[in-house]
Amino acid sequence: MKRREFIRAGAIGGAAALAAPAVAQDRRQWTLVSAWPKNLPGPGVAAQTLADRITTLSGGRLEVNLFAAGEIVPGPGVFDAVSEGTAQIYHAVPAYWGSKSKGILLFGSQPFGLRADEQVGWMVHGGGQALYDEMYGRFGIKPFLCGNSGPQWFGWFRNEINSTDDLRGMKYRSTGLASEMCAEIGMAVQAMSGPAMFQALQSGALDAGEFIGPWTDSALGYHQVAKNYYWPGVGEPSSAEECGVNMAAWNDLPDDLKAVVQLAASSLYNDVWTEYETKHALALRQLVESEGVILRQLPDAIVDDMGKAAGTVITRLREDSDELVRRIAESFVDYRDSVGAYMTYADNGQMNARARVLGY
């Protein structure tokens, strides 16, 4: 898919579609506003799949119509649009809502934090969903995780880096708690959309930036303007995608349609995550073999400094003036430490053993 095909977002006079959801003969219509360009590999595709899955599972009783970023509201405006009832549901990532509450950021990704499967474990078995509901309830939204990108990358750099000093003052695109970690070591972090990041790298307004991973990043063309691709993405060991439903629209649903929305979101999580993992692998091979991309590992000294910065960021959350933020942070840390200790022997042990014989 060519980059232009999904970054073109023309306003289509969508305001007419923003009437209250139609209810006729137990049939409803919802507007889904997305933070992504339509059909952007990864999140843009996932947003459409979510709309289609709700419609299909409901037998057409709940028809969800997708509007991409810029068609009704800009990508950063989808949370407010649903909170205010302008639309009934959005698709985005928690990392975009730090201005609402720092506690929200922990539900999406955490520096040196949870993998995609562990994130679900925290939500379902570690008390995370109750805290997620409580936080988003402040804004009149019922939230669900509905996908994950898997491990993200540290990103695309115009020049090679060798030490933390090389990063100080560097103009770098990131989001969420990863951006706070990077700012802590002196990087000049900027928030912007994925397509805007390409333009900024091309013009020199950015020195480097991260978005998602090889599949989505290659579609946006970052390799055309920055050839150094750094790993691991310690700021986002995984990054959850979410949908948020306007609370009034949620409460208006009968129980069976509530179950449909919940099932559509939870069933999509694994489908989205495994598609990312599969297509990231294929895209990375293409980037290296055909596009001249140079894979570079972050030096251990940088990782160590990032770890210290991440500890500072999480400590601030554990000491936040908002009691709910403190509870979210403590729940996350407790779960991470518990499951992380086990993974040393389980998944980590298996992956390290496999790496020793990869290629047999």
Place 26 in a pLDDT band, splitting at 50, 70 and 90.
Answer: confident
Exposed (0-12), middle (13-18) or buried (19+): which is 290, by Cβ within 10 Å? exposed
pLDDT for residue 37 = 96
Percent of the chain topping pLDDT 70: 93
The DSSP string of 32-46 is EEESS-TT-TTHHHH
- Mean pLDDT of the region 286-296: 98
Exposed (0-12), middle (13-18) or buried (19+): which is 285, by Cβ within 10 Å? exposed
Place 12 in a pLDDT band, splitting at 50, 70 and 90.
Answer: very low
Query: 4-149+238-278 adopts what CATH topology?
Result: D-Maltodextrin-Binding Protein; domain 2 (3.40.190)
- Mean pLDDT of the region 46-64: 98
Asked whether this chain's domains 4-149+238-278 and 155-237+293-357 adopt the same fold, the reply is yes
Tell me: is residue 211 an annotated ligand-binding position.
yes
Place 23 in a pLDDT band, splitting at 50, 70 and 90.
Answer: low
pTM for this predicted structure: 0.91
Cis, bond preceding 232 (omega within 30 deg of 0): yes
Query: Is the pLDDT at 9 greater than 70, yes or no?
Result: no
Residue with the two structure tokens 């499967």: 117
Domain boundaries, the chain: 4-149+238-278, 155-237+293-357
Class in CATH terms, 155-237+293-357: alpha beta
User: Rounded to whole angstroms, how far apart are CA atoms 151 and 119?
Assistant: 12
Query: Is the pLDDT at 41 greater than 90, yes or no?
Result: yes
Tell me: is residue 236 an annotated ligand-binding position.
yes
Tens of pLDDT, residue by residue over 182-205, are 999 999 999 999 999 999 999 999
Phi, psi of 165 (to 5 degrees): -60, -30
Query: Is the pLDDT at 139 greater than 60, yes or no?
Result: yes
- Mean pLDDT of the region 62-77: 98
Contact 156, 140 (CB under 8 A): no
Tens of pLDDT, residue by residue over 312-352, are 999 999 999 999 999 999 999 999 999 999 999 999 999 99
User: Rounded to whole angstroms, how far apart are CA atoms 164 and 301?
Assistant: 7
User: Rounded to whole angstroms, how far apart are CA atoms 30 and 154?
Assistant: 36
Phi-psi group of 309: left, alpha or beta (phi > 0 → left; psi -120 to 50 → alpha; rest → beta): alpha
Query: For all residues of the chain together, what is the average pLDDT?
Result: 93
In the chain, the amino acid numbered 189 is V
Phi, psi of 231 (to 5 degrees): -135, 160
User: Rounded to whole angstroms, how far apart are CA atoms 261 and 95?
Assistant: 22
